[in-house]
Amino acid sequence: MKALTWEGKHSIAVKNVHEPTILNPLDAIVKVTTAAICGSDLHLYNGYIPTMRKGDIMGHETMGEVMEVGSMVKNIKVGDRIVIPFDIGCGHCQHCQDEEYSVCDNSNPNFIIPEKLYGHSGAGLFGYSHMYGGYAGGQAEYIRVPYVDTNSLVIPPGIDDEKVLFLSDIFPTGYMAAENCNIKPGDTVAIWGAGPVGLMAIKSAFLLGAERVIAIDHVPARLKLAQDCGAEIINYEDIDAITDQLSFLTGGRGPDSCIDAVGMEAHGHTILNAIDTVKQKIKLGTDRPDVLRRAIQSCREGGTVSVPGVYGGLLDKFPFGAAFGKGLTMKMGQTHTQKYMKPLLDRILNDDIDPSFIISHRIDIDKGPDAYEGFNEEKDEYIKVVIKMQ
Amino acid sequence: MQTEKIQSLLSTEHGFFNSATIAQSPQDVFEFCRNNENVQKVLRDLPLNLENFLDLTLVKAEETDPNQFRIEWQNSETSKAAGTLYFLLSPAPLDRGTILIAEASFDIFDDDDSEPSDLIKVFLKRMKALAETGVIATTTGQPSGREEITFIRR
């Protein structure tokens, strides 16, 4: 089968590799119909996530048709059309029972690596480094899905792939980010990053009752989409101080909650971000957390900072004193995707939202390497790339 | 179980031990841990090729206090390494299942080596996974570009 593989920093290849097989009786094999490239795939592309190995199959936003199931699979059958969440839950451990699937105890066979780095390990993830299990990803013609009864959402017939594919990650991620803000009537939510997750967070914040959403980015096409979603927009390159601007726009209070939908590769013209950039390039730093700094600084007293953006290591010049002094609540982490897939599918079926509005490119898998390069370099043109399998 | 009591039950001076919480009742975990097939499954594919060194025999499986259990596996005299594997089981708080402590003491382990303490963590994690889900997560045998059939395009 064809698959997109990680060959090193800034190097993605199309390779012909073996098709997956059932390795455990709770597995299924799925023929991929549609996959997508995620903004967090660019962290791998740019070499910022450790423990990738040359030849790893990329991708964690995937859907397709079930071709084979293991002997212990109960709920999923051959022929089912499923969306596959990016995080892998076993469905049985205490965390999965509590719907905290992204911190499943049992799905990461390489748990010892993150345990040494973080104290405890999160769940295994598709196509996202050996630290997260080393699972082959879904930017391929076939994928093995472990614990498929837990890691699947069956899609009813007649619904286009593009309408439901983003239930695999970015829609639940944006929704959980907004839900973590504990939005109350009248609230203003500021969202850094108007990429796919940020756009989903805008839509979700309104679905959850936000009065105003303010989107912050510097890419005109993304800001235009944010505006189309109902957000007020700020191009941070047009202003001197984002915190002052947000304070002004909210009557001196600051946003009730702030969402960092950017993560470890923040852009911007602050001195601290310049330092972060240099440190990251020479491997003296792991993350560029400038958006997180701005979010903490800008949030009102007693507000909430929600972090769906991916971070990997140790954050420098982190304004914890500001967070403490203002009594902020901080919520973060990989999305418990399985918890949100069904209710958000219902939102889609109810025509509350059609997430496909973010798609900018539809490609076949052979164009994958070009798409990675374009997505990384031309953010004004590339919003979301969808890979249509033949 | 109180810390002092756990310490008193750990039996060897040089054993490596750790604990895990399994989302099942102590009685169920007791039945699981005394089953040789389960222990062998967990040992399979572990680093150090442990399955080649260990030929375990169940020598003790008892309820020491209400809902608290102790299991002792010993390597047979004909095996390549002498030693013992102990399990201590006690209820976890509220409805969180069972705390399983495993202690391993085998003369293939070097006291100064950190690998056995990682090994006991991996062993427990695999015990937990097998008990809770019936399988142990793996990626061995999955496809990758490292075993490509043909290179198409970069």
Q: Which of A312, A332, A352 is the last residue of a domain?
A: A332
Within a domain: B14: yes
Q: Could you give the number of structural domains in chain B?
A: 1
Cα dihedral sign for A236, A240, A243, A246? negative
Same domain, A120 and A255: no
Range of A212's domain? 171-332
Residues A340 and A324 in one domain: no
For residues A296 and A184, membership in a common domain is answered with: yes
Percent of chain A exceeding pLDDT 70 equals 100
Q: What pLDDT score does A286 carry?
A: 85
DSSP string, A158-191: T--HHHHGGGGTHHHHHHHHHHTTT--TT-EEEE
User: CB-CB: which of B138, B143, B152 is closest to A20?
Assistant: B143
pLDDT of residue B109: 63
The answer to whether residue A362 scores a pLDDT higher than 80 is: yes
Residues 6+ apart with CB under 8 A from B79: B53, B54, B55
Measured over the CA atoms of residue A96, residue A99, residue A104 and residue A105, the dihedral's sign is negative
Q: Is the ipTM above a cut-off of 0.95?
A: no
Please tell me the predicted confidence (pLDDT) of residue A44: 97
Contacts of A92 (CB under 8 A, 6+ apart): A106, B23, B132, B133
CB pairs under 8 A between A and B: 129
What is the per-residue pLDDT for A124?
Answer: 98
**Residue B54 has what pLDDT?**
75
Q: What share of chain A is helix, strand, coil (3-state, %, to 5)?
A: 35, 20, 45
**Does one domain contain both A98 and A144?**
yes
CB A310 within 8 A of CB A43: yes
Closest Cα of chain B to A370: distance in Å?
9
What length does chain A have? Answer: 390
A123: left (phi over 0), alpha (psi -120 to 50) or beta: beta
What DSSP state is assigned to residue B106? E
**d(C-alpha A136, C-alpha A310), whole Å:** 20
* A268 plus A312 within the same structural domain: yes
Instruction: Chain A: give the shortest CA distance to residue B128, in Å.
Output: 8
Q: Would you say the C-alpha torsion A129, A131, A134, A135 has a positive or negative sign?
A: negative
Query: Do residue A13 and residue B140 have CB atoms under 8 angstroms apart?
Result: no
Is residue A202 within 8 Å of A231, Cβ to Cβ? yes
pLDDT score, position B51: 67
- The reply to whether B149 falls in a domain is no
Residues 142-201 (A) with a CB less than 8 A from some CB of B:
144, 146-147
Q: Is residue A81 located within the same domain as residue A158? A: yes
Among A1, A9, A72, A93, pick the best mutation site for testing chain B contact (most B Cβ within 10 A): A93
Same domain, A83 and A204: no
Q: Are residues A230 and A365 in the same domain?
A: no
Residues 6+ apart with CB under 8 A from B136: A24, A109, B41, B42, B126, B129, B130
Across the interface, do A17 and B148 touch by the CB < 8 Å criterion?
Answer: yes
Task: Judge whether B148 lies within some domain.
Answer: no
Nearest residue in chain B measured CA to CA from A366:
B153
Give me the sign of the Cα torsion angle A207, A211, A216, A220.
positive
Cβ–Cβ of A18/B147 closer than 8 Å? Answer: yes
Residue of A nearest to B138 (CA): A109
Partners of B21 in the β-ladder: B99
In terms of domains, do A7 and A154 share one? Answer: yes
- Supply the range of the domain harboring residue B101: 3-139
What pLDDT shows up at residue A212?
98
Cβ of B147 within 8 Å of Cβ of A55? The answer is yes
The verdict on a CB contact (< 8 Å) between A140 and B143 is yes
Task: Check CB contact under 8 Å for A90 and B133.
Answer: yes
Mind giving me the DSSP string for B40-59? HHHHTT-GGGHHHH--EEEE
* Interior/surface letters B118-137, b for 16+ CB within 10 angstroms, e for the rest: bbbbbbbbbbbbbbbbebbb
What pLDDT is stored for residue A265 in this prediction? 86
Q: Check CB contact under 8 Å for B96 and A94.
A: yes
Whether residues A284 and A164 fall in one domain: no
Residue B145 lies in a domain: no
pLDDT digits (tens, 9 = 90+) for A190-200: 999 999 999 99
**pLDDT number for residue B48:** 62
Indicate the SS3 state at residue A257.
Answer: strand
Report the mean per-residue pLDDT for chain A. 96
Q: Where is pLDDT greater, at A300 or B148?
A: A300
Nearest chain B CA: its distance from A186 CA (Å): 39
Picking from B38, B23, B144, B59, the residue whose alpha carbon sits closest to that of residue A139 is: B144
Contacts of A49 (CB under 8 A, 6+ apart): A43, A128, A129, A131, A312
Q: Do A107 and B134 touch (CB under 8 A)?
A: no
The predicted-structure confidence for A106-153, as pLDDT tens digits, reads as follows: 999 999 999 999 999 999 999 999 999 999 999 999 999 999 999 999
Q: Which amino acid is at A334?
A: Q
- Is there a contact between A14 and B152 if contact means CB atoms under 8 Å apart? yes
Given A287, A314, A332, which residue is the final one in a domain? Answer: A332
pLDDT band at residue A380 under the 50/70/90 scheme: confident
CATH classification at residue B67: 3.30.530.20
Query: Could you tell me if residue B146 is inside a domain?
Result: no
Kindly state the DSSP code that residue B127 receives in the 8-state scheme: H
Q: Where are the alpha helices (DSSP H) in A134-266?
A: 161-164, 170-179, 196-207, 220-228, 242-249
Distance from CA of B132 to the nearest CA of A (A): 6
Specify the length of chain B in residues: 154
CB contact under 8 Å between A5 and B128, yes or no, is: no
Contact list in A for residue B154 (CB cut-off 8 A) is: 7, 11-14, 369
pLDDT of residue B6: 57
| Residue A12 to residue A388: CA distance in whole angstroms | 17
Element (H, E) at A258: strand A257-260
Distance in angstroms (rounded) separating the CA atoms of residues B1 and B14: 22
Higher pLDDT, B82 or A238: A238
Mutate to test the interface with B, among A7, A23, A53, A106 (most CBs of B within 10 A): A106
Residue B150 lies in a domain: no
Is there a single domain that holds both residue A148 and residue A182?
A: no
pLDDT at B104: 85
CATH number at residue A195: 3.40.50.720
In angstroms, the CA A91 to CA A146 distance is: 11
Total number of domains in chain A: 2
Which residue numbers in chain B have pLDDT < 70?
A: 1-15, 47-51, 80, 108-116, 148-154
Are A163 and A27 in a shared domain?
yes
Contact B86, B102 (CB under 8 A): yes
